[in-house]
A = this chain, B = another copy of it.
Amino acid sequence: MTNIQNDKNYDFLDKFARDAKQAARKFSHLKSNEKNNALNRMAEALIDKMEMILAANAIDVKNAQQKKLAPALLDRLVLNSERLNNMAKAIHEVAELPDPVGDISNVRIRPNGLQVGRMRIPLGVIAMIYEARPNVTSDAAALCLKAGNAVILRGGSEAFQTNTAIIKILHQALESCHLPTAAITFIPTTERDAMVELLKLDQYIDLVIPRGGEGLIRFVAENSRIPVIKHYKGICHLYVDEDANLNIAMNLLIDGKLSRPGVCNALETLLVHEKIAENFLKTAGDLLKNQGVEIRGCQRTSQILPFAKIATDDDYATEYLGLIISVKVVNDMDEAIDHIGKFGSNHTEVIVTDHLPAAQRFIREVHSSVVAVNASSRFSDGGELGLGAEIGISTTKLHAYGPMGLEALTTQKFVLLGEGQTRHEIKTILNK
C-alpha cells in the first residue's frame, strides 16, 4: 500500500472498490458509539504518531520545493505540530456531532393503516479526489465514516508521502477497533489514468466529491460514470439596495472582501443601486483603495471613482480570489438579479436592505445555494451555518446545494410497517 504501482494495470482498483463496498456495509449498521470510538482512536493515533507524519511530510515539502511549487500550494502542503493537533481536534469534533443515520422522519399513517416513514441511511462508498491539503485526508475519512460510509481517497501527488503515512496510522486505529481498513481506502497512485478507471466503477462507488481547482473538477465531471457533487467557483455578489443601511453595507463589504480574499465565499462583485451609488461608492472606494484592493467598475462607477479600471464581462465572470473587486451601478433590483443570473456561480449572494419587500423578492428570485439578507457572504460555510463540519460545497442542485455536512453524506429510504396490507383484494386477484 505504500508504493506507487508502476505498471499500467489498474485491475487492483476494482478489488479496492469492492472491498470498500464490503466495508461500507459493515459501517452502515455500526452503532454511533462504535463509530465515535473509532474516530477518537484515529484522532489519538495522529498525535501519537506525529513524528512519522512530519517525517513523511518533510519529504513531500522538499520535493515540492525542488519542483518550485507555488508558495500558496506549498503552504497548504506543510504540516507542523499545530496543524496536526488541529486535524486531530477536527476528528474529535466530528465524533461529537449527532449521528444522522437511522433517523426516521415524516412517519404518516396511510388510509389503510400502513405506516410510511423515511429513514436516513449512509450513501455507501464515497470517493474523494483532492489536491494538496493533507488535512482533507483525515477530515474526509472522519466525516464519511461518521455517516456510516466507506471512503476512497485519491489525494494529490504533492502530498503523496504525507497521505500514505496518515492512512497507515488511521488503518492502525481501525484495526485496534477490529474494523475493516478498507473503510478508508487509499489509492496508491496519482496517475490520471488510474483516476479515470476509478471513475468508471459505478457498481461499487455511490458518489464522487472532487475538491480542488476548476481543472480537476471539470476533469472528474467529464470522466465520471458515478454521480459527482461539484463546486466550480464562488463568484459571490453583494447587492447594496437603495434602502440599505450603509454602515451594514460597508461592514459586509469589508468582511466579505478583506477578511480572507482567497476563499470561495469571499466577495468578488459589488452591485450598487444608483440612488445610493455616489454616496456609498465614494466611501467604499477610498477604503478599498487604501486596503490595496483594485477596483474594476462599470462606466458609472468610474465617474464616481476616477481611479477605477473599466470592467469587462470577463472580469464580472472571474473569481479573483485576491485583492480585486468588480463593481457595477445598477438601475434597480431587476438589473442586479439579472447580473447575478448572468455572471453568478450559484454560490452565495447577499442583499443589504431595510425594505422588507426587497428582501423578500431577493430571497424568492435569487436561486444561489446561499442567499443572505444583511449578513456576510463569509457565513457560507458548514460550520458557520450549524452543520458542524463541511465535506464540501455544492453549486449544482442535485442531492445537496450549498455547504454539505454529514446529512449530505446520507440518503433516505422508505420504511413501511404493516399488518398484512395488500394493494388489491386477494379474492379478486385469485378469481380474475
Contacts and interface: CB of A to CB of B under 8 A. Distances in A.
Nearest to A113: B375
A203 B371 CA distance: 21
Copies of this chain, complex-wide, total 2
Interface size bracket, A side: 35 or more
Contacts of A376: 418, 421-423
Nearest to A247: B420
B374 A420 contact: yes
Given A251-B422, A384-B110, A418-B373, A399 B399 contact: yes
A180 interface: no
A378 B429 CA distance: 13
A211 B341 CA distance: 31
Interface in A407-430: 411-424, 426, 429-430
A368 interface: yes
Contact of A225 (B29, B222, B369, B411): B222
A416 B368 CA distance: 12
Contacts of A368: 413
A403 B397 contact: no
- A interface, by DSSP: helix, strand, loop or mixed? mixed
A384 to B, nearest CB: 7
Interface in A259-299: 259, 291
Given A110-B384, A416-B370, A398 B123 contact: yes
Contacts of A258: 429-430
B378 A415 contact: no
A165 interface: no
Contact of A386 (B110, B251, B397): B110
A194 interface: no
Given A114-B375, A398-B398, 12 more contacts: A25-B341, A29-B364, A110-B385, A114-B379, A116-B385, A227-B398, A259-B423, A375-B416, A375-B417, A376-B423, A384-B423, A398-B411
16 contacts: A28-B367, A119-B363, A248-B419, A252-B422, A258-B430, A291-B430, A372-B416, A372-B418, A375-B420, A376-B421, A378-B424, A379-B421, A380-B414, A397-B411, A398-B411, A401-B413
